[in-house]
Amino acid sequence: IPLIRILLTHLNFDCLPKSIFKEKGKLVVLFRNPKDTAVSFFHFHNNVPSIPSYSSRGEFFSGFMTDLYFGWGSCFDPALTWNKHTEDKNTMVVIYEDLTGNLTASVKQIAEFFGLSPTAEQLQAIAERDTFQPVSVKAQETHGAVGLILFHKGIFGDRKNVFVQAQNQKLAAKFTVCLQVTKLGVKFKYDMYCKA
């Protein structure tokens, strides 16, 4: 198996080092549906002591929906930037909800993108080891103290337990305006994973 260097980052496309593209690096970009992304940010901001927390879900939601979201722009800005690169030959966009639906098939697609051909047994072993539950159990060991904060539930649809219907509708409207007709918006499978 060839040596592969892996860099994990939260950087947007515009912030990545240009050398990645000159050296023919390959990028796997992971997105999560916007509603559950909002839920993740809510829990993250209220559980990390070194960043501001929010006194209510309403206060958080108002900040999340603005174009100056937490000082680095709208939550939709990175998606709109990456949308321009969804068909770049060195870029593979993966949707979190697709991983949870069929991890083995997703692992196979990612491996093939990198030119690897794992056996069925290897694919199965990776899928069993890297589902949310086993990874979250080892979170503190692999990520230190922040591990317990990073891995909350790993499910989709938790927005129904966090946001009220009016907030869900506002987020749906923002998705429609920003992403619905984009290539990335189609990949989100909004009707399946986000609607309602």
Highest mean pLDDT among 66-70, 79-83, 162-166: 79-83
Which residue's structure tokens are 């047994």? Answer: 121
Instruction: Please say if 10 is a catalytic residue.
Output: yes
Tokens of 123: 């694919």
Q: Which domains does the chain have, with CATH numbers?
A: 27-193 (3.40.50.300)
Query: Cβ-count burial of 141 within 10 angstroms (0-12 exposed, 13-18 middle, 19+ buried)?
Result: exposed
Decide if pLDDT at 68 tops 60: no
Reported as a pLDDT band with limits 50, 70 and 90, residue 184 is confident
Backbone angles phi, psi at 151, to 5 degrees: -105, 100
The pLDDT tens digits of the residues spanning 3-39 come to: 667 777 777 888 888 888 777 788 899 888 888 888 7
Query: Cβ-count burial of 182 within 10 angstroms (0-12 exposed, 13-18 middle, 19+ buried)?
Result: middle
Decide if pLDDT at 180 tops 90: no
pLDDT score, position 108: 93
**Looking at 10, 43, 45, 152, which residue is catalytic?**
10
> Angle at the Cα of 195 (from 97 to 55), degrees rounded to 5?
85
Decide if pLDDT at 113 tops 90: yes
Decide if pLDDT at 165 tops 60: yes
